[in-house]
Amino acid sequence: MKVAEAMRTHPEILRPIFVSGHNQLTVQNMMSLFDTVFSPLGSNARRAENLTLMFWRDWLIEADGSRPISLQNILTFVSGVDLIPPLGFPERPQIEFLHAPLENGSRRRYPEANTCSVVMRLPIHETFEEFQEYMESGIIQSPTFGFEYRFKTAFLAVFPRTKVFMKEAC
């Protein structure tokens, strides 16, 4: 059988055979994809995490069409792939929160991700607008899974406050 050769010469024709089960990425399946790692109930950290999780969900809804970033961009940032694999990820993706300050004492403003374990670390912000700005800026400027120049240029024109953020290697 010349399956490997056929895959190389006609990848789009054979793609449905090997990646069947992919559904269109939706806000609902993005929301249900992740387990959330919370601080103890009743703590100040937990209160900030609840607000941040609300921002995350609202932002996903907006990212589904009205923002310069897409659900696929978000999934690529956190996992390295733009579709949920048919059999899922080897480990359940997680959301963690960035409470610890940077070495210089300033707070972490940008999202961080570990694509090996599929962990999204969300920054804590006081307002939805600030959360949205730093999430989009951080993901668009991702050094490993950066997006096209036109997205960066358009985004920088709207959100001039941009800094380097972290993305863990495996």
Tell me the per-residue pLDDT of 40-67, one tens digit each, with 9 for 90 and over.
999 999 999 999 999 999 999 998 878 8
- pTM equals 0.74
Alpha carbon distance 77, 170 (integer Å): 14
pLDDT value at residue 167 = 47
For residues 45 and 99, the answer to whether their CB atoms sit within 8 Å is yes
**Length of the chain, please?**
170
- CATH code for the domain defined by 23-168: 3.30.2410.10
Indicate if the pLDDT at residue 149 is higher than 50. Answer: no
Active site residues: 116
| Rg of the chain (C-alpha set) | 18
Indicate if the pLDDT at residue 150 is higher than 50. Answer: no
pLDDT value at residue 148 = 45
Mean per-residue pLDDT of the chain: 82
pLDDT band at 20 (very low <50, low <70, confident <90, very high): low
Alpha carbon distance 83, 85 (integer Å): 6
Indicate if the pLDDT at residue 1 is higher than 70. Answer: no
